[in-house]
Amino acid sequence: MTAIDPQSFRQALGTFVTGVTIVTARAPDGQPIGLTVSSFNSVSLDPPLVLWSLALKSASLPSFREARSWAVHVLSVGQEEISARFATPGADRFAGLEFEDGPEGAPQLPEFAARFGCEATFEYEGGDHAIFVGHVENLQRRDAEPLVYHGGRYGRVRQPADDLGQPALKRLADTGFLELVPGGFQLTEIGRAMLGDLRAGLARWKEGPGLNIPEGDRRLLADLHRLIEIQSAS
Query: For the CA atoms of 31, 34, 40, 42, what is the dihedral angle to 10 degrees?
Result: 30
pLDDT of 211:
45
The pTM assigned to this predicted structure is 0.68
Task: Show me where the domains of the chain are located.
Answer: 6-150, 158-233
Give the separation between CA 94 and CA 200, rounded to whole angstroms: 35
pLDDT of 89:
87
Contact 90, 57 (CB under 8 A): no
Q: Residues for the chain: how many in total? A: 234
pLDDT class of 222 with cuts at 50, 70, 90: low
Amino acid at 50: V
Q: Which CATH class is domain 6-150?
A: mainly beta
Residue 213 predicted with pLDDT over 50: no
Contact 116, 50 (CB under 8 A): yes
Q: What percent of the chain has pLDDT over 90?
A: 49
Give the separation between CA 74 and CA 141, rounded to whole angstroms: 9
Closest Cα partner for 193 from 172, 204, 177?
A: 177
Give the separation between CA 135 and CA 99, rounded to whole angstroms: 22
Q: What is the pLDDT of residues 108-164, one digit of tens each?
A: 999 999 999 999 999 999 999 999 999 999 999 988 888 999 888 888 776 554 455
- β-strand pairing of 107-108 with 69-74: unpaired
Count of other CB atoms within 10 angstroms of residue 159: 19
DSSP string spanning 86-99? HTSTT--TTTT---
Closest Cα partner for 149 from 71, 79, 205, 57?
A: 79
Between residues 160 and 30, which one has the greater pLDDT? 30
Give the separation between CA 176 and CA 187, rounded to whole angstroms: 9
